[in-house]
Amino acid sequence: MSSEKPLYVAFLWHMHQPYYKDLLTGTYFMPWVRLHAVKDYVDMVLLLDEFPDIRMTVNLVPSLLEQVLDYVEQGATDVIWDLSEPDPSELSETEKCVILERFFHAQYENMIRPYPRYRELYELRGWARSQEELRSVVQLYNDQAIRDLQVWYNLVWIDPLFVECDPKLQELFRKGRGFTEEDKRYVLEKHRRIMRELIPIYRTRQERGQIEISTTPFYHPILPLLCDTNLARVARPEIPLPRRPFQHPEDAEEQVRRAVEFYTKLFGQPPRGMWPAEGSVAPEVIPIFAKHGIEWIASDEEVLAHSVGQSIRRDLRGNVLNAELLYAPYWVEHHDARLKMVFRDHHLSDLIGFQYAGWDPEDAAEDLVRRLEIIALNSDRNDQPWLVPLILDGENCWEHYERDGLPFLRALYERLSMSGALETVTLADYLERFPPQRTISHLFAGSWINHDFSIWIGHREDNRSWDYLHDVRDLVTRHIEEHRHELSAEQVEQAWRSLYIAEGSDWNWWYGEDHSSGMDDLFDQLYRDHLAAACRAVGLEPPGFLRLPISRHTAPREITQPVSFISPNLDGYVTHFYEWYGAGHYDPALASTAMHPGKMRLQHLYFGFDAQKLYYRIDPDPTVIQTDDVTQVVLSLHLASGDLSWSLKLKLERGSTHAAIVTASTSPTREKAKKESSCELLLASSVAARKGGSNGKSSEGMLLNDEKSLPDLPPLAAQVALGEIVEIAIPRSLLPLAAGDPLDFFVTLEIEGHEVERLPAHSPLHMRIPGENFEQLQWSV
């Protein structure tokens, strides 16, 4: 039920995968289309059957749907399927090693840890990552263990919504181990059954008006850069560009035309809206969309701000202070063409994408609805039909939520259905009821990430990728023109299709320093194979440079390990450049992710040691300390070999900043969680640091065990300093650590009792305790 003057809320869930099929070999290099289809795509719409009053828009990229159809209609498989299907006795040692390498590519906390057998198989692999290490450890896995791993990896990707209504799947989760070949066949066939339902379910829900299906240019290209790579300099005038400009607006138009044609064939009507890949827009793309019947597009609030020359102002809690600017639709115009356009609320969208996963689902849903209702009560709204667009990735965030986000979404949709102040809408329906009353005369050229295109162009690897695309396209099109009477229409079409696939944004997402997938070499190989396929389609030998990798990364870029002892002065400030020189470093901005977070509140984590202490340094954004909210930073340590964990919680207060160790615990691992002890804290003094350059002061605290519950666990003492940064020192003598022991650790940021950020987001960092000759070994050649 909605009130007379509701606040309109428009969800747009973006569903996308790049083209993983190698057209040279016919092999799907990666399984993500299949795995996300059974975990994220179908259930997101099926769930609406429980909430008939909820309306939303779902963006389906044609490159994703094309691959789904290949699985459903042509029986396509991928490398993971091909390793899952055989009886383990038929697998070679090399194949089993690949299974150990790739069958744990799942979010640990929610997809591995909760299942004892799967976790046991994961822990049995230990630190093995190289081929040599895997060949050694694979001997520990008998055929039954391999079969259990084959089943578990495919089983955990099935969404809980399907498990709820499938007794056989429930039985397999309870069974846990000793799976049979029949069990495995059932799980794999379940994958195919779910994928077969995807397009029919979306079509019927759109026909009954509960969802709108929007789409994207076919292979998800950055459309403005296809038109002209020089557009990258609108937002970043200094950005380095490829050797030669790529200027093919005709390719941009063809990507849109093909998308509209494909969509119409699948859903029986043309799309009304498009989410441009990565929210990437520029004036030059407006006539292209309009020519092919597109009514609306969307991007990020930062693009709006730069288009109208006004910033989107927020208070410390993220509430928009000039809401009338953001929560309105606009006309955008260029060369007599015009489109309707909306701009997403960056902060609220990112709460779902990056923060609420660490909250209790009910609390998270209540918080979001409360924030929306506050907007509804804004005195500036009057009778205006404000729209809050919540636009985000609809697949990758859910694995970080409890039960793949199902409890959160149910709680959210229930509250939205009951709210008299809020009404959910599809974008097309809203824009038909409330056409824009304002016009943007010149749309800023940018994307939903930092209002620029620097993720996809500017780095030497990105620019080399554009050069490869440019040169191969020139080579192939010249050859087609010169041999047009000799080549069949099918050959020409296959060449163009391969080029359009290579124009997709995803390849450059993984190039450069911005992101890493952990499989960058595979993405690199696949990109170059698509270019080679374009050549081979018309009888050309691919140029030699396509054999040269573009990506030069040999190790995770976001993590560096300690290389020397450090002895920092704990005062809460970077006293001098060399103070933390030689420490390990984790940079969350470079972490492996298919999603791009907004501004990180915990911006860096340093870690290291000397012969007596372990050191940790946390660099927060200044707003973490300046907020009036109750803010705490938690350092968690886990000794894998000793099955022990420690947690150190620091409270940060605004003004005359007070950082105190407020709680701590020493506990066994989660299998023994019921025996967790509360530890007393003897605090010698608090930690004070003041603005204006005053020195931070340190404190020492001793964490004592509750001897009745855990008499065998050691106490933990910590020295802490807070100023512009947080510095922590823990004496090594108080932990049962020996040289070579692996120590896992992570840091979380809690605001008002809720976890809002974790470093790293997915799994702990690892550090090995050094021996006395650590520094000498680092200098060995």
| Mean pLDDT, residues 679-705 | 32
Q: Which of 28-32, 409-413, 446-450, 687-691 has the highest mean pLDDT?
A: 409-413
Please count the other Cβ atoms lying within 10 Å of the Cβ belonging to residue 686: 16
Vertex 349, ends 347 and 354: CA angle to 5°? Answer: 90
Average pLDDT, the chain: 86
Tokens of 649: 């919680």
Classified as helix, coil or strand, 292 is: coil
Higher-scoring residue by pLDDT: 324, 2: 324
Task: Place 515 in a pLDDT band, splitting at 50, 70 and 90.
Answer: low
Q: How far is CA 370 from CA 355, 356, 388, 453, in A?
A: 16, 14, 13, 34
Whether residue 250 is predicted with pLDDT greater than 80 in this model: the reply is: yes
Contacts 24+ apart (CB under 8 A), 263-268: 263/62, 263/213, 263/215, 266/65, 266/199, 266/203, 267/202, 267/203, 267/206, 267/213, 268/203
Q: Are 226 and 249 in contact (CB under 8 A)?
A: yes
Q: Are 440 and 331 in contact (CB under 8 A)?
A: yes
pLDDT of residue 620: 86
pLDDT of residue 763: 61
Sequence-separated (6 or more) residues with CB below 8 Å from residue 416: 9, 51, 53, 54, 369, 422, 424
Q: Are 245 and 267 in contact (CB under 8 A)?
A: no
* Of 296-300, 351-355, 716-720, the least confident: 716-720
Count of residues for the chain? 781
Please count the other Cβ atoms lying within 10 Å of the Cβ belonging to residue 761: 20
Whether residue 699 is predicted with pLDDT greater than 80 in this model: the reply is: no
Task: Place 602 in a pLDDT band, splitting at 50, 70 and 90.
Answer: confident
Higher-scoring residue by pLDDT: 233, 573: 233
pLDDT of residue 658: 42
Vertex 609, ends 604 and 612: CA angle to 5°? Answer: 145
Question: How far apart are alpha carbons 81 and 67 in whole angstroms?
Answer: 15
Residue 445, sorted as left (phi over 0), alpha (psi -120 to 50) or beta, turns out to be beta
pLDDT of residue 128: 82
Supply the angle between the helices 249-267 and 181-207 in degrees, to the nearest 10: 100
Residue 518, sorted as left (phi over 0), alpha (psi -120 to 50) or beta, turns out to be left
DSSP 494: H
Whether residue 291 is predicted with pLDDT greater than 70 in this model: the reply is: yes
pLDDT in tens, 28-76: 989 999 999 999 999 999 999 999 999 999 999 999 999 999 999 999 9
pLDDT of residue 738: 80
| Mean pLDDT, residues 78-95 | 96
Classified as helix, coil or strand, 244 is: coil
Only one residue has tokens 């001997």, namely 139
Helices (H), 352-456: 361-376, 406-418, 427-433
| Residue 259: HSE in the Cβ half-sphere, 13 Å Cα cutoff | 36
| Mean pLDDT, residues 663-683 | 34
Whether residue 485 is predicted with pLDDT greater than 80 in this model: the reply is: yes
pLDDT in tens, 318-366: 899 999 999 999 999 999 999 999 999 999 999 999 889 989 999 999 9
Reported pTM: 0.78
pLDDT of residue 643: 53
Tokens of 488: 């069949």
Sequence-separated (6 or more) residues with CB below 8 Å from residue 675: 667, 668, 709, 710
